[in-house]
Amino acid sequence: MAAFAIAVAAVAAICGCRVNRPRNDHAATQTLYDSMVSDPGTFNPVLITDSASAVAIGDMFESLTRVNPRTTLFEPGLARSWEFSDGDQTLTFHLRHDVKWSDGAPFTARDVLFTMRVIYDPKIPNSMVSAMMIDGKPIAASAPDDYTVVVRMPRPFAPILSSMQFAILPAHVLAGAYEAGRFNRTWGIDTPPDRLIGLGAFLMTRYVPAQLIAYRRNSDYWMRDEQGAPLPRLKGEVHLIVPDQNAQYLQFQSGMTDVYHPRPEEVWPLEQAAKRLNITVAKVGIDTGSLFFAFNRNPRHYVHDGVADPRYQWFTDVNFMRALAHAVDKQGMIDLCYRGLAVPAVSDVSPENKIYHNPNLKDYGYNLELAAQILDRAGYRMIRPGVRGDPEGRPLVFRLTTNTGVPVRDQMCAIFKQDLQKLGITVNYRPLDFITLVKALDLSFDWDCVLIGFTGAIEPNDASDFLRSSGNLHIWDPAQPKPATPWEAQIDHLMDEGTMVVDPYKRARYYWQIQQILHDQLPMIETVRAVTYVAYRNSLENYYPTVWGLYHPEWIEFRAR
């Protein structure tokens, strides 16, 4: 009843918005409004663990290098150039001379060294340190002068440019707090915005919890456009904090925000309304992450008192897994769950990762008859109508889970379950709330099959915690003391080899091979990748979204009327 009332109210809200749409002054004030789903957890760039915080301070801080989202290659940032020497074991950054912190102090090599010291401090928990370890040892850095940073590696380490992509902290502001052991409590969300000293394109002016974060243009920003005019062109930015995506959608329609990332079912209505709302709906690209069914092959879950649960044998039997791979109706998932706005995923690396994605993998096509044949041949035969058994005659039953509250995942699980039912395999599906699910995956290992997604990165070594057998995110059997299978050992080896070659195009073949191994051994079955869209006001100029972020965001502006 309550749900019904909410539903009616929501319909009324949609209709209401169509009738009176307030005029906004975003173009007149050159202020870009968009929305974010939750409040930030911290304003301290080193302590960030959540995406909302990353969005909140993303435009205030910068790193030595930046990635061109169109080419996925590195470009100069706070460092105007860099060079490798000494057999790729030394990397020298030459910093820009014209960069100033927002309090007027110059940006120097001291800031870079201070930030590295903070990240490597064991008392300061942060997510960056794992990417900055080479064979378990920190990277040594020194500053021969104020505008040069020299990084020495014990061996050639290809991901170094990606590792050095941390946001630089102002040493003159934070060193005192760090020396006093108060770093973990600095720059929390209760810090007055004018005390957050940044050097990015925008500076925070106001944070109202649960409502908005506002920014103004950094007039001392170092970038200039082709004519030498200062950047960024926008005078301000506002992130509205709107936890409910339906509300975000309505706000975009009513003109309160200028940019919106629609869900698949919203793309069509927005395209239809594009003219009336004066917006553009553009395809951004293919999701950079990976969404897959993982199967637990952790002996700690299955083997008790020397007796192995049969599921352990099934999930480690490559024939069983191949049959299941042929039972995933990817096209059905695309049509039903994504309105056709998705593509089948074959590799665990997105095709948007242009260099490291292996395009030669051949997908397991949806074919239930073939799946049944493979099962029959491998000894998994029907033991009674509608029930298939393993070679020892035990019925095939396992549990499937995912996190609650994501309708698309629910539907994908329902489709998979239905197809396995046709093969005679019983799946007990029950979604778990996110915390419970993470505990099952990380601590109790009490799960059989899970539909789960990982985000993707350009640097392939960033996935090392997932790919290496010793990794904590090696989801099917995490933190192995030594590789459980020969192919996992081979992946570990390829991960080592892949970091030794600096040229990305020469590196790629190691990662292509890893994708091939995962595709053949099937510890997890890839599903689909959404094709993402963005909708934005036609009055925005130079708005070039890509799946890896905005291209040249400093050039964005509202067209003068």
List residues near other proteins by CB under 8 A: 1-4, 6-7, 10-11, 13-14, 246, 249-250, 265-269, 272, 329, 332, 335-336, 339-341, 399, 401, 404-405, 407, 410-411, 413-415, 417-418, 421, 428-433, 436
C-beta of 218: minimal distance to other proteins in Å?
A: 38
Q: What is the spatial distance between Cα 418 and Cα 207, in angstroms, rounded to a whole number? A: 48
Q: Rounded to the nearest 5 degrees, what angle is found at the Cα of 282, between the Cα atoms of 250 and 345?
A: 100
Going by C-alpha positions, the residue among 364, 313, 308 that lies closest to residue 518 is: 364
- In the chain, how many H helices and how many E strands? 18, 29
Whole-number minimum distance, CB 373 to other proteins, in Å? 22
Contacts of 273 (CB under 8 A, 6+ apart): 253, 279
Smallest separation, CB 115 to other proteins (Å): 41
Rounded least distance, CB 527 to other proteins, Å: 15
**Closer to other proteins by Cβ: residue 14 or 438:** 14
Cβ atoms of 543 and 551 within 8 Å: the answer is no
Q: Which of 211, 354, 295 is nearest to 525 (CA)?
A: 295
Whole-Å CA distances, 277 to 36, 228, 246, 271: 21, 35, 17, 10
For 435: left if phi > 0, alpha if psi spans -120 to 50, otherwise beta; the answer is alpha
Judge contact between 520 and 319, C-beta under 8 A. Answer: no
Output the smallest distance, CB 328 to other proteins, in A.
Answer: 13
Q: Output 94 or 263, the one with its CB closest to other proteins.
A: 263
| Nearest residue (CB) to other proteins, 146 versus 335 | 335
How would you classify the pairing of strands 90-95 and 303-304? unpaired
Quick one: 265 or 520, whose CB is closer to other proteins? 265
Q: Choose among 533, 332, 291: nearest CA to 415.
A: 332
CA 350, 353, 356, 361 torsion: positive or negative? Answer: positive
Cβ proximity to other proteins: between 178 and 416 the closer is 416
Nearer to other proteins, 381 or 417 (CB): 417
Q: How far is the CB of 260 from other proteins (least distance, A)?
A: 13
Q: Provide the minimum distance between the beta carbon of 337 and other proteins in the complex, in angstroms, as a whole number.
A: 8
Between 1 and 307, whose beta carbon lies closer to other proteins? 1
State the minimum distance, in angstroms, from the CB of residue 445 to other proteins: 14
User: Of 206 and 417, which has the nearer Cβ to other proteins?
Assistant: 417
Q: Tokens for 140?
A: 């040594």
Please tell me whether the peptide bond between 486 and the residue prior to it is cis, using omega within 30 degrees of 0: no
